[in-house]
Structure 1
Amino acid sequence: MTSISGDTGVAARLHAQHGPALTIGKECDLPDDLVIELAHGASLTIGDHVSIRRGTTIQVHHGATVSIGDYVAIGENTFLSAMAGIRLGEGCTLSNHVELHDHNHRERSAANVPSGQLRPWTSAFEVAPIVVEPGAILSNKVSVTAGVRIGANALVGASAVVSHSIPPETADADVPATVRRYVDGTALPVIEDRRALTVGFFGTSIMEHLEGYNAQLTDQANLPEVGSKVTVEGWHQRGWVHRLALGLRAGFPHVTFDIRNHGVGGATSRDVAEIVGRDRTADGVDYDLVFLGCGINDVWRGFQGRTAEAVGIEEYTSHINAMLAQLAGYSRRVVVISETPFGPVEAPETVREMNAELARYNETAAEAAAEQGALFLDVWSPFTAAAQQLASAPVGHETAGLWSDGVHLSELGDTLFLRQAEHFLAEHRTVEKLLDYPRLERDLALQTYGPMFAPYRPARA
């Protein structure tokens, strides 16, 4: 049996029980046995034309928020439990026996349970919001875990466990839920709080990769005549970083990427460490993903006879560890990138000596990354292998090299670097994991995610 919220039935009883902490819109279809549990400071908003079937429980803990948009349909025996916040977008559907929990028990480690008590909840909870965007459909017996965002018009198959965020307009299934195919959906709504990731790059000219720019050179309808002259209007950053940024935007079109390339030509680890420090002081930006790479100029300066600018291995070790420690404080994931080997910049025997020295710096970087919980991307090995294979090609075959001058990369070198970076991100599912909201201790989660749910809380609640 159901009751329309405009009547004096279910809605009146719930309003009398919960007061201004509960808002129910017009023409809602609510069951007599709907259970709503609102702790102190909690807020539940139910939009217009919402349908909820029998056996459903909505549990909102202290200070948390649950927002149910207009025209949402919730099936039988569904359970929603929020310690930070759950938001169901307009027109989404939750079928029968669906469960959404924005919190998990923390592990019973010594840090979480210093007293060692064997009692429920002594390890407390880790908490992160759940967002179901407009038009998404969750089939029977779907479970959604903390920190997940389900994209607009997505369809999640029966009995799936959604433990990571799902893109819009996809059909997803299995445990854990993964994309099976893309859905040719209706027009997507504008998502005002679109997911955004900030990606930073700190390194040398291998990252900076400046190219001269003139607008006419990129205007296919108005290219300059062959043999004519154009004026360099400025410098654009290109190379593998630019192409990786394009790949991220193409691969995750539902995400906004804020790309910040702080690569500087000629920089040693001493210079990059200063850049990292200045960036935090000047901008105070928190990064979702950071790529850090330096060392090639530390070595090269010594072989160039510029000893005052050269950076020895001990100083380099100090810089790389200091940067990793600093970046860890405001970056969710840091990837240390090995330097590429030197190409034919000097006589072969000198290049071999330079590369032997540079390999020591890469080993140090790998050790520092492991010690400080960062990932390490080795591009040295694939570059070495590719250079040897290109050098062994017979006459008449492809002769393009990996370097433009023995240090800076050619288009082929940039492409090889790009392939390694993209494969690395895919292998570790780095971006996919970053799209989940970080799970935090309960009180910190309420503080961190409170602004995200403030627009969905009644002013009087």
Structure 2
Amino acid sequence: MMFEADQRIVFIGDSITDCGRRDVRAPYGDGYVSLVRAFVTARFPATPLTWVNRGVGGDTVRDLAARWDRDAIGERPDWLVVMIGINDVWRAFMGRPAEAVPLPEYEATLRTLLRRAVEATGCRLLLADPYLIEPDRTDPQRAQSDRYAAVVAGLATELGAPHVATQAAFDEALAVSPASMWADDRIHPGLPGHAVIADAFLRVITG
């Protein structure tokens, strides 16, 4: 396993990470973060870890930038786990184009934030793709989402960070099942969809 005893694991992102962690599902939410924590704890009970969820629903990379000092650097992570980009794409397809984040801005902002976190804390990074639960890769939103996921994969290589291919995990499931099995809106998964994401994380974390 990549984590070591007594390390602090901080997750940051949008609603997929948040999952009610700020209210009735505090402090971990009821999505993939909670599942990853539970399974890592169950498999490695002799490796105590501190888990922190700093997801906020609706966030884009611009919103992360506004709270980065408090919610990423200020948490002093040993590992910083980042999944962001779904809203950066989606806003352009839901009638709020001014709130969408163009690809060059997304890449530049995310690179700057990640480098700042490493320089300030010495943390390791774990980067996960944004995704769209849509099997048709020619669908305009899916095609755009894939471009943002490619940025994350590129940054993972550039920064020497493990990479969680969440889109590929959903594509594997979509090859044998309908998108409606995993989410009603192609974005917000139910528990089985969060299990797909968590399983992708566990493959990377535990080998």
Separation in structure 1 between the aligned mates of residue 75 and residue 175 of structure 2, nearest angstrom: 41
Separation in structure 1 between the aligned mates of residue 143 and residue 13 of structure 2, nearest angstrom: 21
- Partner residue, 2:10: 200
**Deviation for aligned residue 1:315:** 0.6
Q: Is the 8 A contact 1:290 1:331 kept in 2?
A: no
Distance 1:235 1:286, change over 3 A: closer
* Code of the aligned partner of 2:105: E
Is 1:337 the equivalent of 2:124?
no
Is 1:374 the equivalent of 2:164?
no
What TM-score do the two structures reach when normalised by structure 2?
0.87
Separation in structure 1 between the aligned mates of residue 125 and residue 197 of structure 2, nearest angstrom: 18
SS in 1 for 2:38: helix
Separation in structure 1 between the aligned mates of residue 117 and residue 21 of structure 2, nearest angstrom: 28
Match of 1:312 among 102, 125, 135: 102
Separation in structure 2 between the aligned mates of residue 410 and residue 278 of structure 1, nearest angstrom: 29
Structure 1 residues 56-95: Cα deviation after superposition (integer angstroms, max 9, x where no partner): xxxxxxxxxxxxxxxxxxxxxxxxxxxxxxxxxxxxxxxx
Is 1:323 the equivalent of 2:113?
yes
Is 1:256 the equivalent of 2:62?
no
Separation in structure 1 between the aligned mates of residue 100 and residue 161 of structure 2, nearest angstrom: 26
Is 1:355 the equivalent of 2:142?
yes
SS in 2 for 1:196: coil
Distance 1:352 1:201, change over 3 A: same
Match of 2:32 among 235, 240, 262: 240
Match of 2:197 among 417, 426, 429: 417
Paired-residue identity, %: 27
Distance 1:331 1:248, change over 3 A: farther
- Partner residue, 1:386: 173
Counterparts of residues 122-161 of structure 1 (less than 5 Å): none
Q: Is the 8 A contact 1:298 1:310 kept in 2?
A: yes
Distance 1:352 1:331, change over 3 A: farther
Q: Is the 8 A contact 2:133 2:170 kept in 1?
A: no
Number of paired residues? 202
Q: Is the 8 A contact 1:343 1:403 kept in 2?
A: no
List gaps (5 residues or longer) in structure 2: none
Separation in structure 2 between the aligned mates of residue 384 and residue 290 of structure 1, nearest angstrom: 25
* Code of the aligned partner of 1:202: I
Structure 1 residues 215-251: Cα deviation after superposition (integer angstroms, max 9, x where no partner): xxxxxxxxxxxxxxxxxxx343111101111122222
Q: Bigger radius of gyration, 1 or 2? A: 1
Give the superposed CA RMSD. 2.6
Distance 1:316 1:205, change over 3 A: same
- Partner residue, 1:292: 82
What TM-score do the two structures reach when normalised by structure 1?
0.41
List gaps (5 residues or longer) in structure 1: 1-163, 168-194, 214-233, 392-398, 428-461
Q: Is the 8 A contact 1:289 1:332 kept in 2?
A: yes
Distance 1:280 1:304, change over 3 A: closer
Structure 1 residues 99-139: Cα deviation after superposition (integer angstroms, max 9, x where no partner): xxxxxxxxxxxxxxxxxxxxxxxxxxxxxxxxxxxxxxxxx
Q: Is the 8 A contact 2:21 2:53 kept in 1?
A: no
Distance 1:416 1:331, change over 3 A: farther
- Partner residue, 1:270: 62
Separation in structure 2 between the aligned mates of residue 359 and residue 319 of structure 1, nearest angstrom: 18
Aligned structure 1 segments of 4 or more residues deviating by more than 3 angstroms: none
Q: Is the 8 A contact 2:16 2:55 kept in 1?
A: yes
Distance 1:315 1:400, change over 3 A: closer
Structure 1 residues 360-399: Cα deviation after superposition (integer angstroms, max 9, x where no partner): 11111111221122221111112012113113xxxxxxx9
Distance 1:337 1:300, change over 3 A: same
**Deviation for aligned residue 1:212:** 10
**Deviation for aligned residue 1:331:** 4.2
SS in 2 for 1:407: coil
Separation in structure 1 between the aligned mates of residue 33 and residue 21 of structure 2, nearest angstrom: 13
- Partner residue, 1:71: none
Q: Greater strand share, 1 or 2?
A: 1
Separation in structure 2 between the aligned mates of residue 374 and residue 420 of structure 1, nearest angstrom: 15
SS in 1 for 2:79: strand
